[in-house]
Amino acid sequence: MEGVNQKKAYQYVVIGNSAAAIGTIEGIRKTDPEGKIAVVSSEPYHTYSRPLISYLLEGKTDRTRMLYRDPGFYERNGCDTYLGKTAVSIDPAAHTVTLEDGAVLAYSKLMVSTGSEPFVPPFAGLETVANKYYFMTLDDALSLENALAPDKKVLILGAGLIGLKCCEGISRRVHSVTVVDLSPRILSSILNETSAQIVRKQIEAHNVTFRLGQTVREFRGNSAVLDSGEELTFDLLVLAVGVRPRTALIREAGGAIGRGIITDQYQETSLKDVYAAGDCTESYDISSEQSRILALLPNAYRQGEAAGINMAGGRSSFGQAIPMNAIGFFGLPIITAGSYDGETYEKKDDRNYKILYYRDNLLKGYILTGNVERAGIYTALIREKIPLDTVDFELLCESPGLMAFSQKYRLQKLGGLQS
């Protein structure tokens, strides 16, 4: 909606336009089919799946197939959209949100699903780099795509998920890609040393070179001097060092903030009638039994859905949050979940790797590369906290399947069908 310069009242205002926001809308509509909803997003686009931006650059998808919901989603759900508009402040006492153009939206219930933003440490000389990019949004991908050419050398700072998905998206379209990271291994937040080596070998076979255990001491225009003294020249720089939750709206309104926005089990913040979900919030990780940032699309959606139900007067909570990543690089699938703590079961060859972590009679986490079939069995063990002495754990280690579970569990999962 363009040119809105007056106060408008809504039953629900949703700030954000990604998985948590969509979950919120669908949660609201499960309980309240009529209440007026406003959706506010800084991005001007219909909701899309952010993880697909690398596939857009690679040519494996297009703008239509990237949509997270069909084009009629907002209209069908009775939503007024304020796309390309940024919410700049919340007044929790007045129950209003002010947008950058001065428009004021009154709410009965508010959802803040503002996600995360790039975090870049202060590198000396970074301001001298003319062509630098991020890789988190559709606009980021489109901007980078316009600069790609077969003769370009690309330097990526960061060997985490964002940096390496960028690698996959662009490696076939440029002269070379070099990745620098302070960690001695790639994907250090989700892989151990063995699995990282397998994945690194796969990526290096596709026009990518790594400089690990190093950082940039100084930028000098189109060159980067590493702390080892090596100087790397490049044409394009991608900054993928890290992200941080967007918490400013809640913090400036006086809400409780830790590493992310703090919510209760129903996703309500310390501000009355103000909820939060997704990457901007802290979640309770049942595998590590700690509150932490879990920037994962499935968790974001399920938190938003629970919040939407609660905003509309129902009662719901999402209490099975765990870190989980289902990704792939150049045809090598990877699934990780949970925390890496306890005794281990390990099996590997050149491409396939499996390690299970267990303690206190519970599976706590796993890493799989290559053969990831039936990973959902392991995820269910973690989420449902199934005691390992009630299953054939030795069989599950070798070959995950329902036959390793008790007959009662199989009957529950199979709807009464016997195996």
pLDDT the model gives residue 50? 93
Structure tokens at 174: 């440029």
pLDDT the model gives residue 2? 45
What whole-number distance in Å separates Cα of residue 148 and Cα of residue 407? 56
pLDDT one-digit tens code per residue, 17-43 = 999 999 999 999 999 999 999 999 999
What whole-number distance in Å separates Cα of residue 321 and Cα of residue 294? 8
The answer to whether the beta carbons of residues 120 and 239 sit under 8 Å apart is yes
Closest to 144 in 3D by CA, of 113, 166, 165: 166
pLDDT the model gives residue 320? 80
Q: 98 burial class (0-12, 13-18, 19+ CB within 10 angstroms)?
A: middle
pLDDT one-digit tens code per residue, 48-71 = 999 999 999 999 999 999 999 999
Instruction: Look up tokens 């509309």; give the residue.
Output: 312
- Local confidence pLDDT in tens for the 419 residues of the chain: 444 457 899 999 999 999 999 999 999 999 999 999 999 999 999 999 999 999 999 999 999 999 999 999 999 999 999 999 999 999 999 999 999 999 999 999 999 999 999 999 899 999 999 999 999 999 999 999 999 999 999 999 999 999 999 999 999 999 999 999 999 999 999 999 999 999 999 999 999 999 999 999 999 999 999 999 999 999 999 999 989 999 999 999 999 999 999 999 999 999 999 999 999 999 888 888 888 888 788 899 999 999 999 999 999 998 888 899 999 999 999 999 999 999 999 999 889 999 999 999 999 999 999 999 989 999 989 988 999 998 888 888 988 876 667 667 666 665 544 43
- What proportions of the chain, in percent to the nearest 5, are helix, strand and coil? 25, 30, 45
- The dihedrals phi and psi of 187, each to the nearest 5 degrees, come to 50, 45
